[in-house]
Structure 1
Amino acid sequence: MWEWFIGFLTTVLAGIEGFVGDWGLAVIVLTVIVRLILTPLMAHSTKSTVRMQVMQPKLQEIQERYADDPERQAEELRKVYADMKFNPLGGCLPIFLQMPIFFGLFSVVREVPADACFYSILPSISQSVQQVLEASGWVAAAPYIIFDLLFGVLTFIPMVMNVANQDSAQRSQTMLMGGVMALMMLWFGWGVPSAVLLYYVTSSIWQVIQQQVITKRVMEKAKAEAEAEAANKPIEVDVVRREKKPRQHKKS
């Protein structure tokens, strides 16, 4: 199945290259196509995230009141998810769908010609920063290093774009996680084919623009709808805690 997918992805990329005339641009076009296809799912994912935020106080209330009855707690949480039409895994689906393409490019670049390039910017999209640096020195590797830096920075930016809505503790934690992830991506990007960097950089730029232009509007609308729905359908929690029976002490 994986070999079939790699063959299909190679054919698609070669077809795009035949149309645009450049392998690096073909990777960018492929990325845009993938992101366009995933846009409806991303909008749905955003709505799911907003619904989760709106539901959080009610979920915490259920967790606290049913703390002594895990089975009833799970049942009531499922009812809330069903009433609010919330899927806890909805936000992960777009990421999971992109992963095969992201990792598939590692194999695809082995099938493209050795001189497959991104115009004169990246002479070979199958080589990594490390390979170019070792073979040709710092000057030749400079464009590759720039893409690797973008790889790290664009990992950090989307993670911290919503810190304004967080408290100071969450903000600090998000910034720390974003910094760690950016450093990890810099290290990871140093050794991957530049085609992978092209894909991720293009995808991340798309995400940043989409978040500014589309996501905010979707979030505002989804939040208003979720709050109105939650107000019209208040969750009634009728809990009878289990009585804690006193422990019997063994007679000495």
Structure 2
Amino acid sequence: MDDKRNLIAAILLSVAILLGWNFVADKFFPTPDKPDVTTTVAGSDGAAPKAQGEPNGLPEAGTAVPAAKPATQAIRPVEAVLGGGQRIGIETPALSGSINLVGARIDDITLTKYRQTVEKNSPPVRLFAPAGTKAAYFASIGWSAQGIATPGADTVWTASGDKLTPETPVTLSWSNGSGQSFRIEYSIDKNYLITAKQTIANSGSAPVTASSYALIDRLGKPTDPHEKDSYTIHVGPTGYLDGKSVFDVDYDDLDESGAVKYASAGWLGFTDKYWLAAIIPAKGERVTASISTPSADNYQTLFARPFTQVAPGRQVTTTSRIFAGAKEVGILSAYQNKQDITRLSNAIDWGWFEFFEVPIFKLLDWLFRMVGNFGVAIMLLTLIIRAAMFPVAQRQFRSMAQMRLVQPKMKALQERHKDDKPKMQQELMKLYKDEKINPLAGCLPIVIQIPIFYALYKVLMLTIEMRHQPFILWIKDLSAPDPLHILNLFGLLPFTPPSFLGIGVLALILGVTMWLQFRLNPQATDPVQQQVFKIMPWLFMFIMAPFAAGLLLYWITNNCLSIAQQQWMYRKYPQLKAVAAK
């Protein structure tokens, strides 16, 4: 009767874990649904904002910037909008696009090194898109002044060249007709950093007071459900503000509060899982900043400098930088160290375990550069980790066998001292000492594996270097789930199973290898533990199925190495095999 109750309890526990896992996974371990991204990074849906363009107010009290006129034009395709404007081209090895001479906006950026899907003919990822499109997303810089006209969203600038490249900077200029002229000198490096020198020159007869600013304007939230903010991956407004990295503001917060203001800024902008758009003042420059929603479904990050008086015959120049590109670990680190952009590498939300995750990434990335295949690199990483943990795992296995061997003595002590708990614990500790058993040795490898597994999860989910990386055969993207589902006969049947039933080939192999590994372990004496261990491999098969294929590959490799190690231990210590069989 007790065995039946234990079996029922084990089954109910397994079902509860299986059904509850989807809720937990959505909160803490979001998984990609497809090996592709949306048509544009900002999203594929949305409507034009009521007022889109320059900010309707600066973070500092008592300052203001003219708001743009409400956008009344109908939503049009990106290609139609780009083909009808006055533009200066942008071309680098990493991106292409253009600057709109109306408003001097950087509103056309595509990342030429990255495709929207794993297909070879897939178009490049679009980061910025102009106003009037479904996913408008752009950077803009400008001025606010008292008593004089300043350039705005409708200003038509004059350009000194026809293309911005790393070798050819471009200067835009405009005069207000009352003695003040404005210049923006754009330059760009070979990757994703644009530098804009803003100059206001006063040739009038009286001093003027002006302030310069930079902003990023975004229409709508990401539409991909796996590009949304979660407990482990931040998507949305971010930056290094008031002396710390900001991950606690999301789009819903802005919808409720309207704006969040800061007294200082190292940089700020919007982050997606793989992409970043950020505005950056000069190092140590005094600025105020805000993250706001100027109109419905329209989001904006902005920094502004204090008002400065410009005397007649004088000019004032400030420098702003704009990052628009992929969150490549090496490039972000280089900008942080060489361009002195404070904590830009924190645009990747490593979380609390950055000290551990970054070395895992660097080792995995180095292995990939050595072998040329990320799947093989993951297997080699697993081998290195197992080799480093071999002495610990060896002690664990021997401890497990010894614990099984002294089970009769332990039960006798528990029966003898069942009414005296302190005495029972004292006798158990003496037994462990006499038999040279460490009761915690069996837990140590599991405890060590948890941060390693979590670090690999974060690396696969966060780093652009892992995106769209193939392994072999049908595995075209190790950062996405296994695309072959057994329940629909690998795509032959016209339906897609729900995530917790989407058992792929890798998930099945994981279940089988875990079952073989458990069979080699010394069997538990408790009937409930025996039933749980019988069910656990197949339970984990369902739990792990929606995860990235790279994680399953890591776990399968780890299981295979554990099986090999157990077989070696049995050959070296035949008495352990006898204990396991018993």
What interval of TM-score do these two structures reach, taking the shorter chain for normalisation?
0.7 to 0.9
Distance change in 2, residues 1:113/1:65 (3 Å) = closer
Answer yes or no: is 1:127 the counterpart of 2:480: yes
Distance change in 2, residues 1:87/1:49 (3 Å) = same
Tell me the residue number matched to 2:280. Answer: none
Distance change in 2, residues 1:222/1:87 (3 Å) = farther
Distance change in 2, residues 1:113/1:206 (3 Å) = closer
Q: Which has the larger radius of gyration?
A: 2
Please say which of residues 118-127 and 202-211 is displaced more in the overlay. 118-127
Tell me the residue number matched to 1:12. Answer: 363
CA RMSD between the two structures: 3.1
1:150 to 500, 509, 512: 509
Answer yes or no: is 1:212 the counterpart of 2:567: yes
Tell me the residue number matched to 1:116. Answer: 469
Q: C-alpha separation between the residues in 1 aligned to 2:410 and 2:375?
A: 47
- AA of the residue aligned to 1:41: V
Answer yes or no: is 1:159 the counterpart of 2:512: no
Aligned residue for 1:129, secondary structure, equals coil
Tell me the residue number matched to 2:457. Answer: 106
> 2:482 touches 2:506 (CA, 8 Å); kept in 1?
no
Aligned residue for 2:415, secondary structure, equals helix
- AA of the residue aligned to 1:207: S
Q: C-alpha separation between the residues in 2 aligned to 1:116 and 1:65?
A: 60
Tell me the residue number matched to 2:422. Answer: 71
Deviation, structure 1 residue 199? 0.2
Alignment of 1:1-252 (within 5 A): 1-109=352-460, 110-111=462-463, 112-129=465-482, 138=491, 145-162=504-521, 170=527, 174=530, 176-218=531-573, 220=575
- AA of the residue aligned to 1:10: F
Deviation, structure 1 residue 50? 2.1
- AA of the residue aligned to 2:405: V
Q: C-alpha separation between the residues in 2 aligned to 1:19 and 1:132?
A: 32
> 1:50 touches 1:219 (CA, 8 Å); kept in 2?
no
Please say which of residues 206-215 and 90-99 is displaced more in the overlay. 206-215
Deviation, structure 1 residue 115? 2.6
Please say which of residues 17-26 and 214-223 is displaced more in the overlay. 214-223
Query: Structure 2-normalised TM-score?
Result: 0.34
Deviation, structure 1 residue 76? 1.4
Structure 1: unaligned runs, 5 residues or longer:
225-252
Higher relative contact order (CA 8 A, sep 6+): 1
> 1:160 touches 1:178 (CA, 8 Å); kept in 2?
no
Q: C-alpha separation between the residues in 2 aligned to 1:189 and 1:222?
A: 30
Aligned residue for 2:541, secondary structure, equals helix
Distance change in 2, residues 1:162/1:78 (3 Å) = closer
Distance change in 2, residues 1:160/1:221 (3 Å) = closer
1:118-154 per-position Cα deviation (integer Å, ceiling 9, x unaligned) = 1444211000136999xxx727x9xx92111101212
Count of aligned positions: 214
Aligned residue for 1:182, secondary structure, equals helix
Aligned residue for 2:389, secondary structure, equals helix
Deviation, structure 1 residue 53? 2.1
Please say which of residues 121-130 and 23-32 is displaced more in the overlay. 121-130
User: Going by fraction, where is strand more abundant, 1 or 2?
Assistant: 2
Percent pairwise identity = 27
User: Going by fraction, where is helix more abundant, 1 or 2?
Assistant: 1
Q: C-alpha separation between the residues in 2 aligned to 1:51 and 1:182?
A: 24
Distance change in 2, residues 1:42/1:173 (3 Å) = closer
1:18-63 per-position Cα deviation (integer Å, ceiling 9, x unaligned) = 1111111000000011111111111111221122122222222222
Deviation, structure 1 residue 67? 2.3
Distance change in 2, residues 1:181/1:132 (3 Å) = closer
Please say which of residues 34-43 and 179-188 is displaced more in the overlay. 179-188
Runs ≥4 residues deviating over 3 A: 130-133, 221-224
